[in-house]
Amino acid sequence: MIALITGSAGLIGSQSALFFHNKGYDVIGIDNDMRAYFFGKDASTDDSKKALEEDLAQYTHYDIDIRNLNDLEPIFKQYGEKIKIIIHTAAQPSHDWAMKEPITDFTVNAVGTMNLLELTRLNCPKATFIFTSTNKVYGDRPNFSYYDKAPDLEYKSMMIHEEEKRYEAYFTGKQLASIDEKMSIDNCKHSIFGASKVAADVMVQEYGKYFGMNTAVFRGGCLTGPNHAGAELHGFLSYLVKCIITDKHYTIFGYKGKQVRDNIHSWDLVNMFWEFHAAPRQGEVYNAGGGRDNSTSILEAIDSINRIAGTNWTNFSLSEDNRVGDHIWYISDLDKFKDHYPNWDITIDLEETLKQMVEFEKAKNA
Ligand SMILES: NC(=O)c1ccc[n+]([C@@H]2O[C@H](COP(=O)([O-])OP(=O)(O)OC[C@H]3O[C@@H](n4cnc5c(N)ncnc54)[C@H](O)[C@@H]3O)[C@@H](O)[C@H]2O)c1
């Protein structure tokens, strides 16, 4: 029984490796530490790879690039039907970085995914295929609070309001909003990154709907946890914790620091993969974040981290320029997944996640 995990040294990949190893799977990890190329050596996932190799007896690492079909093919051929699940997390994950090298972004995110889907179809078609997509596939559509622009009826009445420390979105009648899978992905600005993920996201759905394979797309909100190699361009909570603990400067890009994200701990996300794998469906799409209870603005996150860490850090500045295509407010609606998989719920809330991240960062800098 093999779990093949791409991006196995990254945040979600390494959590997946631990999780499935604990469940008795042999784990094949594929990761070429391209994160260091994207974000610099501080964001390298090499230590995480070494830890997996040391800690997990049944872990085998392949230092190869998912863009290279010829390198991937022998692995799929060698293990064939023994591969029961593919968890595909390797990616160029930052929408700011993508504009620097759109072709690199597209080949990693879209072509890499296509390589893995096709090798799965040819060598282990009954396996579960999990793809970590992103809420950026909805582009900046959640920002359209003047919702006559929205074609989706359900979101026509959604309005974003500015509150003291955060933006908040309501449907008519003051009902608090969240974003479900019915939101359109068309006719909005996705960023280059969002668009390359859309290409992969739709292809993963297609391999389920067209070929009948057990594929699922998880459109992540903010995925987080202590094992995130946070960098300025990716992994905002992890990077913010790092800046607060080491008293480094942090720039907030746009929206006065009131932009809202929902945050899910990597363990809870991987537990979604597990539930799906136990009763797979074909070509499903799920929004996967922490939901309203685990949402925070950047200003609120700074308050929480200061409280948990016992610091009084204020070393940040507000830039007027928001990131292109960035969300003002985004909270995932988790009802569809909970309806399909009633055993699943969030088990690690944002407070506990932040505690783990603060402890991890303090230990690293002790
Ligand atoms: N972290 C988030 O907030 C977030 C939010 C939404 C979606 N996602 C998606 O979830 C997935 C996992 O995110 P993460 O935070 O664990 O990312 P991560 O950067 O921590 O891990 C990704 C890993 O993939 C590896 N990698 C990159 N390109 C590769 C290539 N060409 N070949 C082989 N390995 C390669 C990197 O070295 C890295 O170790 C990504 O697909 C990302 O787009 C993440």
Domain residue ranges in the chain: 2-365
**Cβ 11 under 6 angstroms from ligand 1:** yes
Q: Up-side HSE of residue 332: CA atoms within 13 Å toward CB?
A: 29
Which contiguous run of DSSP H or E holds residue 296?
strand 295-297
Over the stretch 290-334, which tens digit does the pLDDT of each residue have? Answer: 999 999 999 999 999 999 999 999 999 999 998 887 899 999 999
Cα of 176 vs centre of ligand 1, distance in Å, is: 31
**Cβ 7 under 6 angstroms from ligand 1:** yes
Compute the average pLDDT of residues 284-293.
97
**Cβ 220 under 6 angstroms from ligand 1:** yes
By DSSP bridging, strand 260-265 and strand 222-224 are: parallel
Q: How confident is the model at residue 38 (pLDDT cuts 50, 70, 90)?
A: very high
Cα of 63 vs centre of ligand 1, distance in Å, is: 15
C-alpha–C-alpha distance, residues 156 and 152, integer Å? 7
Q: How confident is the model at residue 226 (pLDDT cuts 50, 70, 90)?
A: confident
Please tell me the residue having the least CA distance from ligand 1 atom 2: 223
Could you tell me which of 88, 91, 170, 189 has the C-alpha nearest to residue 129?
88
Phi and psi dihedrals of 12, rounded to 5?
-80, -35
Maximum Cα interatomic distance, the chain, rounded to a whole number of Å: 58
Q: CB–CB of 206/131 below 8 Å?
A: no
**Cβ 225 under 6 angstroms from ligand 1:** no
Looking at residue 206, its pLDDT comes to 98
Query: Which two tokens mark 34?
Result: 């391209």
**Cβ 71 under 6 angstroms from ligand 1:** no
Cα of 31 vs centre of ligand 1, distance in Å, is: 10
Looking at residue 149, its pLDDT comes to 46
**Cβ 124 under 6 angstroms from ligand 1:** no
The dihedral built from the CA positions of residue 59, 61, 65 and 70, taken in this order, carries a sign that is negative
Does the domain at 2-365 match CATH 3.30.930.10? Answer given as no
Could you tell me which of 161, 198, 160, 193 has the C-alpha nearest to residue 179?
160
Q: What is the pTM of this model?
A: 0.95
Residue whose structure tokens are 């604990």: 22
Looking at residue 141, its pLDDT comes to 87
- CA–chain centroid gap for 220, Å, is 4
Residues in the chain: 366
Number of Cβ within 10 Å of residue 153's Cβ equals 9
DSSP state of 142: G
C-alpha–C-alpha distance, residues 67 and 109, integer Å? 9
Query: Which two tokens mark 125?
Result: 């078609």
Which contiguous run of DSSP H or E holds residue 316?
strand 316-319
**CA distances from residue 249 to 51, 245, 321, 332, 359 in whole angstroms, order as listed:** 30, 11, 17, 29, 20
Least confident of 32-36, 74-78, 170-174, 244-248: 170-174
102 burial via Cβ count (<10 Å: 0-12, 13-18, 19+): middle
Residue whose structure tokens are 């903010």: 222
**Cβ 302 under 6 angstroms from ligand 1:** no
**Cβ 66 under 6 angstroms from ligand 1:** yes
Please tell me the residue having the least CA distance from ligand 1 atom 12: 89
Q: CB–CB of 40/122 below 8 Å?
A: no
**Cβ 48 under 6 angstroms from ligand 1:** no
Cα of 174 vs centre of ligand 1, distance in Å, is: 37
